Amino acid sequence: MEQMRRQGFLGEFELMVLLAVMRLGQQAYGVPISAEIESQTGRDVGTLGCAT
């Protein structure tokens, strides 16, 4: 049961992706999402990390 609870929360990266999608609106797809996360956080994000 404890293991199931841990899987129910979003991680930091998933939250950043969701925030970027909200910010970009209709322009939200892999490359712009990655660029938005990189520009806002300074972290290097591979395009494939946002493609699924």
- What 29-35 contacts at long range (C-beta under 8 Å, 24+ apart), as own/partner pairs, is none
CB 38 within 8 A of CB 45: yes
Going by pLDDT thresholds of 50, 70 and 90, the confidence category of residue 47 is low
* The predicted structure's pLDDT at residue 6: 59
How confident is the model over 17-29, as pLDDT tens digits? 999 999 999 999 8
Residue showing tokens 């797809």: 29
Residue 16: pLDDT band by 50, 70, 90 thresholds? Answer: very high
User: How many Å separate Cα 16 from the centre of its chain?
Assistant: 4
Would you give the DSSP letter of residue 9? Answer: S
pLDDT > 90? residue 37: yes
Nearest C-alpha neighbor of 20 from the set 31, 6, 9, 7 = 31
Residue 1 in this model has a pLDDT that exceeds 60: no
